[in-house]
């Protein structure tokens, strides 16, 4: 969340196309994690995003440095934002 989530989700709040893309990715993440059968958890989402990041790195992807134009985010970054949005929507842990 600290790397891309806060800024990316803030950008999405004023960019309808980015928000729609995040929503579509979030639905795919929920499907991938069988969220309809088990509730989403921080642990499941963290494992999922680490897998995405690791696979992307193996194919040469690198986290953008400096200012990021989230409205032009690639698939990996949009997927990460979707995971952040899902995590943000989880009930607070006490």
Residue 50 domain-assigned? yes
Give the span between the Cα atoms of 86 and 60, in whole angstroms: 26
Give domain status of residue 39, yes or no: yes
**Structural domain range at position 11:** 5-88
Kindly state whether residue 94 falls inside one of the protein's structural domains. no
pLDDT score of 66: 84
Read off the pTM: 0.88
- What confidence score (pLDDT) does residue 1 get? 65
Tens digit of pLDDT for each residue in 15-53? 999 999 999 999 999 998 886 677 889 999 999 999 999
**SS3 at position 42:** helix
pLDDT value for 22: 95
Residue 93 in any domain: the answer is no
For the chain, what is the domain count?
A: 1
The residue among 13, 4, 11, 87 whose CA lies nearest residue 53 is 4
Q: What share of the chain has pLDDT > 90, as a percent?
A: 61
Q: Of the candidates 9, 7, 3, which has an alpha carbon nearest to the alpha carbon of residue 26?
A: 9
């Amino acid at each position: 969340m600290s790397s891309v989530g806060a800024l990316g989700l803030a950008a999405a709040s004023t960019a309808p196309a980015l928000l729609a893309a995040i929503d579509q990715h979030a639905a795919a993440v929920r499907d991938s994690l069988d969220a309809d059968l088990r509730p989403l958890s921080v642990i499941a989402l963290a494992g999922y995003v680490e897998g995405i990041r690791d696979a992307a790195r193996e194919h040469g992807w690198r986290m953008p440095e400096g200012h990021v134009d989230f409205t032009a985010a690639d698939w990996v970054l949009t997927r990460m934002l979707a995971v952040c949005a899902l995590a943000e929507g989880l009930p607070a842990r006490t």
